[in-house]
Amino acid sequence: MRVAALLAVSLVTLGSAMPALGSPPALTAQDAWIRATPGVDVAAAYVTLHNSGTQPVVVSGVRAADAEAAMIHETTIVNGQSAMRAHETLRIAPGETVRLAPGGLHIMLQGLKRALSAGDEVPLVLLLQGGGSLTVMARVRALADA
Protein backbone atom coordinates (compact mmCIF):
# COMPACT_ATOMS: atom_id res chain seq x y z
CA MET A 1 0.00 0.00 0.00
CA ARG A 2 2.65 2.41 1.04
CA VAL A 3 4.73 1.87 -2.09
CA ALA A 4 1.68 2.35 -4.26
CA ALA A 5 0.84 5.61 -2.55
CA LEU A 6 4.37 6.93 -2.96
CA LEU A 7 4.37 5.96 -6.61
CA ALA A 8 1.07 7.75 -7.17
CA VAL A 9 2.40 10.91 -5.57
CA SER A 10 5.58 10.89 -7.62
CA LEU A 11 3.63 10.30 -10.84
CA VAL A 12 1.41 13.28 -10.09
CA THR A 13 4.45 15.44 -9.39
CA LEU A 14 6.10 14.31 -12.59
CA GLY A 15 2.92 14.92 -14.57
CA SER A 16 2.47 18.46 -13.37
CA ALA A 17 6.14 19.29 -13.84
CA MET A 18 6.41 18.01 -17.41
CA PRO A 19 4.71 20.77 -19.41
CA ALA A 20 7.01 23.41 -17.93
CA LEU A 21 10.07 21.49 -19.11
CA GLY A 22 9.26 21.14 -22.77
CA SER A 23 8.39 23.61 -25.48
CA PRO A 24 4.72 24.16 -26.37
CA PRO A 25 3.14 21.12 -28.06
CA ALA A 26 3.95 21.11 -31.75
CA LEU A 27 0.98 18.93 -32.58
CA THR A 28 -1.99 20.49 -34.34
CA ALA A 29 -5.27 18.90 -35.33
CA GLN A 30 -7.56 19.69 -38.23
CA ASP A 31 -10.87 18.49 -39.59
CA ALA A 32 -11.88 16.38 -36.62
CA TRP A 33 -15.16 14.59 -37.18
CA ILE A 34 -17.14 11.62 -35.97
CA ARG A 35 -19.12 9.18 -38.01
CA ALA A 36 -22.15 8.43 -35.89
CA THR A 37 -24.33 5.44 -36.56
CA PRO A 38 -27.83 5.73 -35.10
CA GLY A 39 -28.76 3.06 -32.60
CA VAL A 40 -25.29 1.84 -31.68
CA ASP A 41 -23.07 2.96 -28.83
CA VAL A 42 -19.81 2.90 -30.76
CA ALA A 43 -18.51 5.47 -33.23
CA ALA A 44 -15.31 6.23 -35.09
CA ALA A 45 -13.60 9.61 -34.95
CA TYR A 46 -11.22 10.93 -37.58
CA VAL A 47 -8.73 13.79 -37.52
CA THR A 48 -5.68 15.04 -39.37
CA LEU A 49 -2.66 15.50 -37.09
CA HIS A 50 0.43 17.50 -37.96
CA ASN A 51 3.69 17.76 -36.06
CA SER A 52 5.28 21.13 -36.79
CA GLY A 53 8.05 20.63 -34.25
CA THR A 54 11.54 19.20 -34.40
CA GLN A 55 10.89 16.25 -32.09
CA PRO A 56 8.62 13.25 -32.61
CA VAL A 57 5.25 13.47 -30.91
CA VAL A 58 3.67 10.31 -29.56
CA VAL A 59 -0.03 10.14 -28.81
CA SER A 60 -0.24 7.66 -25.96
CA GLY A 61 -3.97 7.58 -25.44
CA VAL A 62 -7.30 9.28 -25.97
CA ARG A 63 -9.92 10.35 -23.46
CA ALA A 64 -13.48 11.22 -24.35
CA ALA A 65 -15.88 12.30 -21.62
CA ASP A 66 -18.81 11.19 -23.80
CA ALA A 67 -17.62 7.58 -24.08
CA GLU A 68 -16.69 4.79 -21.69
CA ALA A 69 -13.51 4.18 -23.65
CA ALA A 70 -11.58 5.73 -26.50
CA MET A 71 -8.65 4.14 -28.28
CA ILE A 72 -6.65 4.36 -31.46
CA HIS A 73 -7.50 1.63 -33.96
CA GLU A 74 -6.40 0.75 -37.43
CA THR A 75 -8.61 -1.00 -39.92
CA THR A 76 -6.76 -3.58 -41.95
CA ILE A 77 -7.82 -6.17 -44.45
CA VAL A 78 -6.93 -9.69 -43.34
CA ASN A 79 -7.81 -12.52 -45.74
CA GLY A 80 -10.27 -10.25 -47.47
CA GLN A 81 -11.99 -9.41 -44.20
CA SER A 82 -11.97 -6.01 -42.58
CA ALA A 83 -10.43 -6.21 -39.11
CA MET A 84 -9.40 -3.67 -36.51
CA ARG A 85 -6.34 -3.71 -34.37
CA ALA A 86 -5.50 -1.41 -31.49
CA HIS A 87 -2.55 0.96 -31.54
CA GLU A 88 -1.26 1.63 -28.07
CA THR A 89 0.56 4.66 -29.34
CA LEU A 90 0.66 6.74 -32.50
CA ARG A 91 3.99 8.30 -33.42
CA ILE A 92 4.14 11.40 -35.57
CA ALA A 93 7.59 12.31 -36.85
CA PRO A 94 8.77 15.94 -37.11
CA GLY A 95 7.08 17.55 -40.10
CA GLU A 96 4.80 14.56 -40.60
CA THR A 97 1.06 14.69 -41.19
CA VAL A 98 -0.94 11.64 -40.11
CA ARG A 99 -4.46 11.37 -41.40
CA LEU A 100 -6.98 9.33 -39.48
CA ALA A 101 -9.58 8.51 -42.10
CA PRO A 102 -12.20 5.88 -42.95
CA GLY A 103 -10.58 2.59 -43.90
CA GLY A 104 -7.44 3.22 -41.86
CA LEU A 105 -6.52 4.82 -38.57
CA HIS A 106 -9.36 6.03 -36.39
CA ILE A 107 -10.25 6.78 -32.82
CA MET A 108 -12.76 4.22 -31.62
CA LEU A 109 -15.32 5.50 -29.17
CA GLN A 110 -16.96 2.71 -27.21
CA GLY A 111 -19.83 2.88 -24.78
CA LEU A 112 -21.19 6.25 -25.87
CA LYS A 113 -22.99 7.88 -22.99
CA ARG A 114 -25.38 9.86 -25.19
CA ALA A 115 -26.80 9.68 -28.68
CA LEU A 116 -24.73 11.72 -31.12
CA SER A 117 -26.59 13.95 -33.55
CA ALA A 118 -25.25 15.61 -36.66
CA GLY A 119 -23.64 18.92 -35.78
CA ASP A 120 -22.81 17.97 -32.19
CA GLU A 121 -19.30 18.75 -31.05
CA VAL A 122 -17.55 16.09 -29.01
CA PRO A 123 -14.31 16.91 -27.19
CA LEU A 124 -11.51 14.38 -27.58
CA VAL A 125 -8.38 14.69 -25.47
CA LEU A 126 -5.24 13.30 -27.06
CA LEU A 127 -2.73 12.40 -24.35
CA LEU A 128 0.86 13.03 -25.34
CA GLN A 129 3.77 10.91 -24.18
CA GLY A 130 5.95 12.86 -21.77
CA GLY A 131 3.07 15.00 -20.56
CA GLY A 132 0.64 17.42 -22.08
CA SER A 133 -2.45 16.88 -24.13
CA LEU A 134 -4.29 18.26 -27.12
CA THR A 135 -8.05 18.75 -26.98
CA VAL A 136 -9.82 18.39 -30.29
CA MET A 137 -13.44 19.27 -30.96
CA ALA A 138 -14.86 16.64 -33.30
CA ARG A 139 -18.04 17.47 -35.19
CA VAL A 140 -20.59 14.75 -35.69
CA ARG A 141 -21.56 14.12 -39.31
CA ALA A 142 -24.74 12.44 -40.40
CA LEU A 143 -24.13 8.99 -41.85
CA ALA A 144 -25.21 10.14 -45.31
CA ASP A 145 -22.59 12.91 -45.31
CA ALA A 146 -19.76 10.83 -43.90
Provide the binding-site residues for Cu ion, judged by CB under 5 A.
73, 84, 108
Residue 85 φ then ψ, to 5°:
-125, 150
Q: At its nearest, how many Å lie between Cu ion and the CB of residue 79?
A: 18
What is the rounded radius of gyration, in angstroms, for the C-alpha atoms of the chain?
A: 17
Of 15, 55, 48, 11, the closest CA to residue 33 belongs to: 48
Nearer to Cu ion, 69 or 84 (CB): 84
Using CA atoms of 96, 102, 108, 114 in order, give the dihedral in degrees to the nearest 10: 120
Least distance (Å) between residue 51 CB and Cu ion = 23
Q: Are 62 and 72 in contact (CB under 8 A)?
A: yes
Q: Which is nearer to Cu ion, 64 or 108 (CB)?
A: 108
* Number of other residues whose CB lies within 10 A of the CB of residue 102: 11
CB of 123 to Cu ion, least distance (A): 19
CA distance linking residue 25 with residue 28, whole number of Å: 8
Q: How far is the CB of 29 from Cu ion (least distance, A)?
A: 19
Residue number with CB closer to Cu ion (71 or 118): 71
Comparing every residue's Cβ against Cu ion, the nearest one is: 73
Looking at the Cβ atoms of 62 and 108, the one nearer to Cu ion is 108
